Every structure is written in structure tokens, then in C-alpha cells.
Amino acid sequence: MSDQKLQIIPLGGLGEFGMNCLAIRYGDDIIVIDAGMMFPDAELMGVDVVIPDFTYLVENREKVRALILTHGHEDHIGGVAFFLRQLNVPVYGTALTLALVERRLEEHDLEEDPKLHEVKPGDEIEAGPFTVECVHVTHSITSSLALGIRTPLGLIVHTGDFKIDQTPMDDIPFDLHKFAEYGREGVLLLLSDSTNVDRAGFTESERAVRPRLEDLYRRAQGRLVISCFSSSVHRLQHILDLAKESGRKVAFLGRSMLSVSEISHNLGLLHIPDNILLRPQDIMQVPAEKVCVAISGTQGEPMSAMARVAVDNHKHLSLRPRDMVVLSARIIPGNEKPIYRMINHVARRGAEVVYGSMNPPVHVSGHASVEELKLILALVKPQYFMPVHGEYRQLVKHAKLASDVVGAHIDESFVIESGETLVIDKRGAKKGEPVTVGRVCIDSGSVDEVVEDMVIRDRRHLSEDGFVLPIIAINKHTGKSETLPEIVSRGFKSLEDASDLMKEARQVVARTLENSSAEERTDWGVMQEKIRTDLRRFINKQTSRRPLIMPVILEV
């Protein structure tokens, strides 16, 4: 590859939500922006998390110079530990982002100590031919960065996840001046967040949530239980400030909520008033009207604190009829069923549930709406534009928006999905050769175990057709079956329905044994395959179903 080519290589996060990971390559040098994860959909049975396939980076490991993290959300840092297992390169991020990464790394046994480097807005990172400037942006998690990436061919601006909050909680405004400065300098390529391209107008400030929360604090007669994303440090600040004003104590429930509140407080990002914290074990001992609980689990995750509270299975909190539960978070597409199921369980406890759209809002997005996206485009005026972070329809819509807003400045907009590449050289920009991408499934209960496609397929097979277990006892001296085979099944047919079928199935297995030679009967591998084949043919003919058949041969 010529040194004059610049490659933009998305390994995840384009055409999908989650698994954000983008490589930028010039010659023999690569930098990587973010290494996220996504939660699995219902089809990926038993899978805990899904991460990008880092094969391309591993194949070019000697060229990878740095991993740069834009912010601390799981869809941007959740795959860092798996990345570092294969590529121990320097990692750059803000203090909060790295603290969240370190907490994650504690769960993993890395062979080498990670090289974590803290950066602040205004800092520059030197990595091969790249000089990366960190730019402060506002988002739903504090300490978020955009990146100005200077390359031998020109300046690339990566917005990261952002919204333009003009009244941020920490009074540190979005750095519009830097984006305008880049625009005056000349920008080769803009990579911009597409999440809310469907939403007109401006995204409301985090401060817009306070009036609704104030009203809920006044209205709540019993315990006030507020579920929000644990990473929403500014939302936690609202909860603490209003609790102090209303005379309530605050308890944090949920592993992530406890972890993030502790980290944020230690870094000076979360101010906790004196004498306001309540130990989880004391929640039920304090008068209900004096208690506020900040709890994780807004998306109805099965083992989350909020989900356990909803079914009255949490050791520290039990809901009562006068209590109020507030879901201060958006319903992420695809999570509707578990969330509404959780809300129904809360309603059965007799508690009031507050959720959804309302004015003033109980939740505001962390992503830019159309008018903010237009503003960034107008300020930056890039030569080329590539939307990132969104499903395909959103990428297409953002590309059209760019043409409408600054079409005269943009030579071309590129809608690129994960695995496709954008190649820029002195002659211009075009789509390049695709690279290896995919999803790597990590199994529940083990941070090491990668679940193969075959395992997922077997799990789906079991869930649809169940399994049948023929158990055959064979005399090791004669090679003959002592009795009729036994057959155990689960998820296939009820015992009543299957009694006649199973009798016939036992006869099928017995005939297979009788019709096999003495030599075959002594080779268990051959016998298992013969029994599996004959039984599968019989069951499929009788029921049109294909359960998983696993013959067990016992030597007696």
C-alpha cells in the first residue's frame, strides 16, 4: 500500500448500535478510536456481551500505535479488556473514562499491565504520523471528547458522541470555538454522530430534567426510587441536590451505580452533600418519605437491581403502595418487552410508575438533534463527510442532511458500514476493499469463553425443537443391548403426547442395533452416528421436527 493513502476502517458501530470501533491507517501506522461492546439480542442465547472482531488489527498488530477512547459508555469501552488481551498498546482517555476502564479490567487477568494515559481537553497525542487533539464536548456522560486528528493528508474531525448543551451542569460549555477553528483551517473529513438525526430541533439541556424531578420529589408520598443510567453523573447530581433540599437520604443500589458514583466522587465530578448517604441495608428502616433510591437497571436487564426490585427479590428494597418509581432513561429500541414487563411488575407492587415522554422531561438524550448536527456541519465545512454511530437508515439521512446544509463545500458524502473502508489519497476519496469484521460472542459467567457460531446455532436449535437422548446399555462381552433402549426428551413433546411415539422410537433404536455388525457395535462412534441418523429420520417423518439427538452408550 502506498504511503500516500489514508484508510478509514470501521470495525463496528456503523449500521448498528454498539460495538463502536474505528481504525485510521496511514502507511504502516494505525490508530484505533474506541473499543465498545453491545448487548445481545434475543437470538444470541446465553451470550453475555458481543464485541467486535479485532482480526484486522491483530493481523496488523505491529502497526497499531494507540487506542484512543472518546468517553466512558459501554458501547465505546466495553471491549477494551478483550482488545488489550490481543494488543497491548497505549490507551488514552480522560480520567473518568480510564477509571471506568480500570474497574472493568479488574475482572480480567491480563498477562501484561495496560499502558493507560490520562488526557484532558487541549492535550495532544502523538502516535506515528498522527497528532490527535482532544476537544471537550457535552454528552450524557461527563468528560467526553471529540478528536481533531492531523494526518499527512489533512485534518480529520471525529465528533465522538455529543450534543451541544448550552447550559451544562458542570458549566464547562461545548467547545464550539475549536470546531470553528478547524473549519477555518480546512477539514479533510468529518466523522459525526448520527444517533438523533431523526429528531428535529435541538436536544434539551440536562438542566431541563430538574423541574420534573422537583415535581416528583414533592409528589412522592413514600420512597422515591429513581432508575437512571449509572454513567449519567449529572443526573445523579440532580438526585443528590434535590434530596438534600427535600430532606431525603439517598441510597445507591446496583453494582454499576455504586461503582460509578464512587469513581465520580473520588475524581471530584460528583458532589455528595454531607450526611445524605444511606446504607442499602438501612433503606427499609428509615421512614419511607425520607428515602430516595438511585438504582441501576433502566433497561429491564434480568439480573439488574431494578429488575430484582420489581419482582420483590432484592435483599435491601421492597416496594410498597405509596412508593414512586421513576424511569429516568430512554427505552433503547429492542428493549421494549423486558422494560414493560418490569413496569408491570412494579405496578403489581402497588407503586406509581413514571416513565416515557412528558413535559418537562424526566429524561433528555445525550445525542445531538438535527439543528445541532447542522451547526457542526456549517462550522466544520469538511471536504468529505462520513456519518458514524447509527443504523443504516440514520447514516443515509445524515449524509443527505450534510448535502443539504453544506453541499457546496462537500465534495462527497460516504455511507460506510462496518467492514467497508474509505480510502483517501491526493486524487480524492473512494470506497476501498472490505476488511474482516464480525461479532464475537462472550458467554455468560466466563470472560474468557468465546461462543462459536455453532454453539449459538445449537442453542437456537434446542430452544425450537428440544432434544432427545437415547440411552443404550451394551454388554461389553457380547456387544448386544441387554434391554430395550431408554429415551429421555426435553422441550420436544409432552410425555402424554409422546408415549406412543417414544415406544416406536425405542424399537427404531433397537432395530439399528440388531442390524449392525458385531464390529460396528464395538465402535461406539459408529453406533452413535447410526442411531442418530435412523432416529432423526423416524422423528422427522412422524412429527416434521428436528430435535437435537444425542445418543448415550453405556458399557455394562
Q: How many other β-carbons are positioned within 10 Å of the β-carbon of residue 442?
A: 20
Task: Give the lowest-confidence range in 159-168, 493-502, 503-512.
Answer: 493-502
Q: With respect to residue 450, please indicate whether it lies within any of the assigned structural domains.
A: no
**Same domain, yes or no, for 215 and 187?**
no
**Same domain, yes or no, for 20 and 120?**
yes
Q: With respect to residue 425, please indicate whether it lies within any of the assigned structural domains.
A: yes
Q: Residue 324: which H helix or E strand, with range? A: strand 324-327
The last residue of a domain, from among 326, 354, 382: 354
Q: Is the pLDDT of residue 461 over 90?
A: no
Q: Which residues contact 446 (CB under 8 A, 6 or more apart)?
A: none
**Same domain, yes or no, for 197 and 210?**
no
Q: What pLDDT does 455 receive?
A: 55
**Same domain, yes or no, for 47 and 71?**
yes
Q: What is the mean pLDDT of residues 424-448?
A: 78
| Whole-angstrom distance, CA of residue 200 vs CA of residue 190 | 21
Q: Is the pLDDT of residue 445 over 60?
A: no
Structural domain harbouring 266: 206-354
Strands 130-137 and 124-127: antiparallel
The last residue of a domain, from among 292, 320, 354: 354
Q: With respect to residue 92, please indicate whether it lies within any of the assigned structural domains.
A: yes
Q: Is the pLDDT of residue 483 over 80?
A: no
Chain-centre distance for alpha carbon 194: 17
**Same domain, yes or no, for 139 and 33?**
yes
Work out the mean pLDDT of the chain and round it to a whole number.
89
Q: How many other β-carbons are positioned within 10 Å of the β-carbon of residue 178?
A: 20
- pLDDT tens for each residue of 11-45: 999 988 889 999 999 999 999 999 999 876 655 54
Q: With respect to residue 455, please indicate whether it lies within any of the assigned structural domains.
A: no
Q: Which residues contact 374 (CB under 8 A, 6 or more apart)?
A: 401, 405
Q: Which of the residue ranges 48-52, 107-111, 163-167 has the most confident prediction, judged by mean pLDDT?
A: 163-167
CATH number, domain of 346, equals: 3.40.50.10710
Which residue carries 477553528 as its cell?
181
**Same domain, yes or no, for 192 and 212?**
no
| Whole-angstrom distance, CA of residue 340 vs CA of residue 331 | 10
DSSP state string for 127-161:
ETTEEEEEEEEB-SSSSEEEEEEEETTEEEEE--S
Q: What pLDDT does 537 receive?
A: 87
Q: What pLDDT does 463 receive?
A: 61
**Same domain, yes or no, for 65 and 190?**
yes
What residues are labeled active site?
193, 367
Q: What is the mean pLDDT of residues 239-247?
A: 97
| Whole-angstrom distance, CA of residue 312 vs CA of residue 329 | 22
Percentage of the chain with pLDDT > 70?
90
Q: What is the mean pLDDT of residues 329-334?
A: 80
Strand partners, 21: 12
| Whole-angstrom distance, CA of residue 488 vs CA of residue 344 | 37
C-alpha cell at 353: 410508575
The last residue of a domain, from among 287, 322, 354: 354
8 A C-beta contact, residue 225 and residue 293: yes
- Residue 495: pLDDT band (50, 70, 90) is very low
Q: Residue 446: which H helix or E strand, with range? A: none
**Structural domains counted in the chain:** 3
Q: With respect to residue 399, please indicate whether it lies within any of the assigned structural domains.
A: yes
Task: Give the lowest-confidence range in 155-169, 241-255, 303-317, 515-529.
Answer: 515-529
Number of helices (H), then strands (E), belonging to the chain: the values are 16, 27
Q: With respect to residue 461, please indicate whether it lies within any of the assigned structural domains.
A: no
Q: What is the mean pLDDT of residues 527-548?
A: 82
Q: What is the mean pLDDT of residues 372-384?
A: 96
Q: With respect to residue 81, please indicate whether it lies within any of the assigned structural domains.
A: yes
Q: Is the pLDDT of residue 293 over 80?
A: yes
Strand partners, 118: 93
**Same domain, yes or no, for 10 and 118?**
yes
Q: How many other β-carbons are positioned within 10 Å of the β-carbon of residue 201?
A: 10
Q: Is the pLDDT of residue 49 over 70?
A: yes
CATH number, domain of 117, equals: 3.60.15.10
Cα torsion at 159, 161, 165, 171 (round to 10°)?
Answer: -90
**Same domain, yes or no, for 255 and 298?**
yes
Q: What is the mean pLDDT of residues 365-386?
A: 96
Q: Residue 109: which H helix or E strand, with range? A: none
Q: Is the pLDDT of residue 153 over 70?
A: yes
Tell me the one-letter amino acid at 353. V
3-class state of residue 331 by DSSP: coil
Q: With respect to residue 382, please indicate whether it lies within any of the assigned structural domains.
A: yes
Q: What pLDDT does 478 receive?
A: 66
Q: What is the mean pLDDT of residues 38-62?
A: 77
**Same domain, yes or no, for 124 and 170?**
yes
- Residue 248: pLDDT band (50, 70, 90) is very high
CATH number, domain of 537, equals: 3.10.20.580
**Same domain, yes or no, for 387 and 265?**
no
Q: What is the mean pLDDT of residues 157-170?
A: 96
Nearest to 226 by CA among 206, 212, 205: 212
Q: What pLDDT does 447 receive?
A: 43
What sign does the CA torsion over 139, 143, 148, 149 have? negative
**Same domain, yes or no, for 481 and 551?**
yes
